[in-house]
Amino acid sequence: MQTILLNPVSDETAIDRAAALLRAGEVVGMPTETVYGLGANAFDTAAVAKIFAAKGRPQDNPLIVHIADPDALEQVSASIPESAKRLAEAFWPGPLTMVLPRADSIPDAVTAGLPTVGVRLPSHPIARALIRQAGVPVAAPSANRSGRPSTTTAAHVLEDMGGRIPAVLEGGPCQVGVESTIVSLAGERPRLLRPGGISLEQLRAVLGEVVLDRAVREQIGDDVQVSAPGMKYRHYAPNAPVTVVCGEPERTAVYIQKHLTNETGVLCFTEFAYLFEMHEMRTMGTALDPLTQARRIFDALRSFDETRVQEIYAQCPADDGIGLAVANRLKKAAGFQVVNVV
């Protein structure tokens, strides 16, 4: 299969063509403000199966359903609690996924058999135009091959999915750069399942109490039942093993300097770049700029695969705001191989 790149800037039929593919039961790479997704008609079991095949994704890892208008929530969820309405009002369109009781119309293939469904209304104008044109909710995980760092440009999608899907819709580099925050509203108390573009602090400002799921900070064993199945897999990983170094940035930089070999790659804050100039080094913005860290993290991790590095050391961002999401993705890329420098 040849994968075509559809660019709405140079081709005014691009979005229509991508929507027609979705309606025909095909899978399309699509931009969102978080990361690029692999979209398919959420009502079509056979189309959804193609997403799992293209990614090599385990069947027990459910997909997020994307809608273009708040009214469409009723098509995918059986009941919408008051808390969901408040969150939608505050953060939609945007990088927030809510886990709600699922409607019968959503097939098991999307939810991995769970009684709940994850729903998001993205803010990227091309994503919304595509979903509207398709006329159906669009199930979409990140567009990377399973286990690889997520895709934040159309070029990343072509790298992972070239030859496996019919088309990728161009939408520029992703503005948020890490996946959506996932909050479950299906239990007794709101629970943060995955940190992302909307911070825990922002959620608490609207909902009051929000419980932090333990899979956010710790490694979860294969035998343990987790709330968001995706959280248990090694994820986001470049080929070389990653070690995340946590602590004061000045100290973590010195720690990394002491442990370097000629075959070490370094992912550091911009202000420490001068220490690592002789090495394969990538910067992720300054220590105080988590928004830039989020935008750069996946591209930086991916880029090490074009080098010969045998190991990668990464400085860990602080745990607040969107930094919690960046730190979580790095720790998962490292399989939770973390060094705490005190």
Contact pattern for ligand AMP over residues 24 through 63, marking x by CB under 6 A = -------------------------------------xx-
Nearest to ligand AMP of 30, 182 (CB atom) = 182
**Structure-derived torsion over alpha carbons of residues 291, 172, 228, 70, reported in degrees to the nearest 10:** 100
Nearest distance from residue 1's CB to Mg ion, in Å? 22
Label each residue of 122-175 as H, E or C.
CCCHHHHHHHHHHCCCEEECECCCCCCCCCCCHHHHHHHHCCCCCEEECCCCCC
**Which one of the spans 7-15, 139-147, 207-215, 315-323 is the region binding Mg ion (CB under 5 A)?**
139-147
- Residue 99 contact, options ligand AMP, Mg ion, none, Cβ 5-8 Å cut-off depending on partner type: ligand AMP
Nearest to Mg ion of 143, 245 (CB atom) = 143
- Residue 193 contact, options ligand AMP, Mg ion, none, Cβ 5-8 Å cut-off depending on partner type: ligand AMP
Contact 141, 51 (CB under 8 A): yes
C-alpha radius of gyration, the chain, whole number: 20
One DSSP character per residue, 282-295 reads EE-S-TT-HHHHHH
Nearest to 134 by CA among 56, 85, 75: 75
Distance between CA atoms of 133 and 126, rounded to whole angstroms? 10
Using rule CB under 5 A, residue 41 touches Mg ion: no
Nearest distance from residue 126's CB to ligand AMP, in Å? 18
> At a CB cut-off of 8 Å and minimum separation 6, what does 93 contact?
121, 122, 123, 128
Using rule CB under 6 A, residue 179 touches ligand AMP: yes
Nearest to 174 by CA among 195, 193, 197: 197
Question: In one letter, which amino acid is 57?
Answer: R
Distance between CA atoms of 300 and 289, rounded to whole angstroms? 16
Burial call 152-171: b when 16+ CB within 10 Å, e when fewer:
bbbbbbbbbbeebbbbbbbb
Nearest to ligand AMP of 216, 316 (CB atom) = 216
Number of residues that bind ligand AMP (CB under 6 A): 18
**Among positions 21, 22, 30, 64, the unique one binding ligand AMP when judged by CB under 6 A:** 64
Nearest to ligand AMP of 171, 229 (CB atom) = 229
Using rule CB under 6 A, residue 141 touches ligand AMP: yes
Residues between 228 and 257 with contacts to ligand AMP, criterion CB under 6 A: 228-230
Contact 163, 54 (CB under 8 A): no
Distance between CA atoms of 247 and 249, rounded to whole angstroms? 6
Using rule CB under 5 A, residue 142 touches Mg ion: yes
Q: Which residue is nearest to ligand AMP (CB)?
A: 230
Nearest to Mg ion of 152, 264 (CB atom) = 152
Nearest distance from residue 144's CB to Mg ion, in Å? 6
**Among positions 114, 131, 165, 215, the unique one binding ligand AMP when judged by CB under 6 A:** 114
Using rule CB under 6 A, residue 99 touches ligand AMP: yes
Binding site for ligand AMP (CB under 6 A): 61-62, 64, 99, 111, 114, 116-118, 141-142, 179, 182, 193, 227-230
- Where along the sequence are the contacts to Mg ion (CB under 5 A)? 142
